[in-house]
Amino acid sequence: MRASARIYWRLLCAGFRRQSAYRLAALGGVAANGTFGLLKVAVLFATVHAAGGELAGYDIGRMSAYIWLSQGLLGSVNLTGRTEIAERIKDGRIAVDFLRPLDVQAAEITIEVGRSLFALVPRGLPMLAIGAAVGMALPGGAAAYPLGAVSLLLGIVLAVAAAYLVGVVGFWLVETRGVQVSYMVVSGFLAGLFVPIGLFPRWLRVVAEATPFPSMLMYPIDILAGQVGLTGALALLGAQLGWLAGVVGLGQALTRAGRRHLEVQGG
């Protein structure tokens, strides 16, 4: 038990370190995410002003917090559905992964979570700095900080686990790019990347909440931006845990079925 915990800890650190090699890439990402953030500020602030200073619980401060938190988490929460496992299934290297004395799904998720956690530093902190400079709402009470941190971690793990699902579809489809791009488009929208789901019309909000996507980005932000109180935060955490259990369970089942189905082409 302890030995395997140590292995996964090492994988987490390896993912963290690997991401630290891409400094220039992080700089490019900061410039792009910052620009999108400024455009979101313009249009969403105008929306709040047009509604008379408050819309669906968002005043300017909370909207600002939503914008800069979401831009900062963009590098860490995998909403693209892009994974390395998809590549390895396509070219057959996955066969080697199955030979290792590790759970393929757990190892893949651990490494990716390590990378995502590192990305919080070069891609997340600059966005928070912009938010702090222009002014944004802070969490309601002291409890919101630890709850927000847990929620953020759950969101990151859930996003990685769901992207893994997109990747293992490759056991049956081989070429998964079309599925991945469709996933990326839908997940960003329903996770509340461009417009917070609180602003959606009721029916669309119900649709979004029936998917795991808000648990990846919207719920952690709602907790960190003080949009929900203590009980609300606990309910959101519960929803995140439920989705995580479901997605990880499905990933296990698909990995097992895929292993039996796997046919490596060439030799």
Partner 1 sequence: MAEALSARVRPYRAVLAARARSQASYRANFVLDLVSSLLSALVELAEVWVLFHAVTRLGGLEFGQILLVFGLADLAFSLADLVFGHCDNLPTYLRAGTLDVFYLRPQPLLLQLITSDITLKRLSRAAVGVVALGAGLAVNHVAWNARDVALLVTALASGCATSAAMFVLAAGLQFFLIEGYELTNAFVYGGRYAATQPASVWGRPLKVVFGYFFPMAFTGFLPTLRLLDLPTSPWLPTWLGWCGPLAALWAWVLAMACWRWGVRHYRGGGG
Give me the residues that bind partner 1 (CB under 8 A), please.
22, 24-25, 27-29, 31-32, 34-36, 38-39, 42-47, 50-51, 55-56, 175, 177-179, 181-182, 185-186, 188-189, 194-195, 199-201, 204
In degrees rounded to 5, what are phi and psi of residue 231?
A: -65, -40
Q: Is 81 helix (H, G, I), strand (E, B) or coil?
A: coil
Find the shortest distance in angstroms from Cβ 179 to partner 1: 7
By the 10 Å C-beta count (0-12 exposed, 13-18 middle, 19+ buried), 106 is classed as middle
DSSP letters for 184-226? HHHHHHHTTSSS-GGGS-HHHHHHHHTSSHHHHTHHHHHHHTT
Residue 107 or 186: the one with the smaller Cβ distance to partner 1 is 186
How far apart CA 245 and CA 10 sit, in angstroms, is 23
| Least distance CB 123 / partner 1 (angstroms) | 10
Of 27 and 138, the one with the shorter C-beta distance to partner 1 is 27
Q: Which is nearer to partner 1, 148 or 192 (CB)?
A: 192
Phi then psi for residue 75, to 5 deg, are -75, -15
Q: Is 59 left (phi over 0), alpha (psi -120 to 50) or beta?
A: beta
Q: Residue 48 Cβ, how far from partner 1 at the closest point, in Å?
A: 9
Which of 26, 85 has the CB closer to partner 1?
26
Q: Least distance in Å: CB of 23 to partner 1?
A: 9
2 CA to centre of own chain: 28
Q: Quick one: 98 or 194, whose CB is closer to partner 1?
A: 194
